[in-house]
A and B are shown apart, each in its own frame.
Chain A
């Protein structure tokens, strides 16, 4: 195809949008609704993953040293945790004294019963470990248990399992919803565009008779579909950002953004949503239009 033929197709694509304003509006609305649904899913799944990641990084693993554990053994555990940056996000050592104070604090008004408690004899040194991903828990626990001076390693197994499973299901759910929504959008938009193409069936037939290639005929429709998809994507992105911004302000008004159940800020989501909406919108519009023309170019 020559450059001139290509620029003609682009021009025709733009003209097509203006030629059938009602069909264009209907197409934009259809894609927009689909992209909004997709965006809601992206927002939900991103937040679900974010919260789970944060929850998983809370200290779910606690390492108890033997009471007679030496300073070298403690140093050995610290060195191991410091070196394992792949799995370990953060760790903290608590001395018997610190554990005693925390224990007393937890007891509240009844703490006086521990006033004469010899913590050095009964409370060990402990390590609180935060993991990068709760899925690494089993592996890290196995290594820690094998280290000298370690008495036992506690982990909230059920919580960890729930977090790992939930993250997996959210990911699978997001991917499935994405594919299903994408296919539904494609189906709807190809039917919408078919109306527009049908009204130009004669034009397409004439073009075929004068020697236009299939790609020459298809290109204006594909460009038209892509433009419709792009406009829908920008609208969907704008609406999603506006709605999420308000929701975030409402829900996070009294919540510390650093807490593990805080939502993702809009700035972390908006680029991703824009990318996904633009990609899907253009693809749905262009592909849906291209498929619709196929029936009429078999002359």
Chain B
């Protein structure tokens, strides 16, 4: 479970990114965080991975206040969180197998188990035959699937995705979302920051909308805007 308790975040530049944000995400939920650029979506992700600390308020994961955890424990937290980025962030000099495997190597996984696990996650994302290819040899969609496989390798309980379809065409985006939905069906909590209104509207999941650093909407089975045949009372549910 993720809990934000009255979280404020002001950057050193003086920008108020979040102003008293509070919400709760239960285990196994699929949540979209939407909002315009600069609204504070990415700050929420950064607070969940402890890349940033709140100026005020607390962030909890499984009732553990990660906002006040020591620096030495941050890597431990991140091993339980799978991260997916808009620009895929794959290591160009490593092949696909190595890109996925190094996330397991970091936690000291044995070679035998690593080979098995990478094989499984590559099968899940449908890239088993591309294990020896390098990122540059893959399409954008395939690279994002590799990133998803890497996020899955340590069997995380939470996957955070920051604009995962931002660089992909609509068809590929659909495939990526289907994959994330599949992962979510197996019990992993998935939190996605996105601008992709079509996907949000089509998937009808919980939507947390941020504007000016505040939550303006927190609705279940919602769309990108309240106008997409979503009952108004759901839009007002905070």
Contact = CB atoms under 8 A, between A and B. Distances in A.
Contacts of A205: 89
Given A19-B93, A299-B51, A211 B79 contact: yes
A210 B82 CA distance: 7
Given A5-B106, A5-B108, A216-B106, A211 B91 contact: no
A156 interface: no
A210 B79 contact: yes
A8 interface: yes
A299 B83 CA distance: 14
A208 B76 CA distance: 11
B106 A211 contact: yes
Contacts of B108: 1-2, 4-5
A188 interface: no
Interface in A161-209: 202-203, 205-209
**A interface SS class:** helix
Interface string B88-113: 01110100000000110111111100
B89 A207 contact: no
A208 B106 CA distance: 10
Given A4-B111, A5-B108, A210 B93 contact: no
B143 interface: no
Interface residues of A, number: 19
Given A5-B106, A203-B91, A210 B150 contact: yes
A2 B76 CA distance: 14
Contacts of B90: 206
Contact of A209 (B78, B80, B110): B78
A213 interface: yes
A8 B98 CA distance: 12
Given A4-B110, A202-B89, A209 B105 contact: no
A212 interface: yes
A212 B107 CA distance: 8
A299 B49 CA distance: 10
A202 B72 CA distance: 21
Given A5-B106, A212-B75, A216-B106, 10 more contacts: A1-B108, A4-B105, A4-B111, A5-B108, A8-B105, A206-B89, A208-B75, A208-B78, A209-B49, A213-B75
Interface of A: 1-2, 4-5, 8, 19, 202-203, 205-213, 216, 299
13 contacts: A1-B108, A2-B108, A8-B105, A202-B89, A206-B91, A207-B106, A210-B103, A210-B154, A211-B77, A211-B103, A211-B154, A212-B106, A299-B51
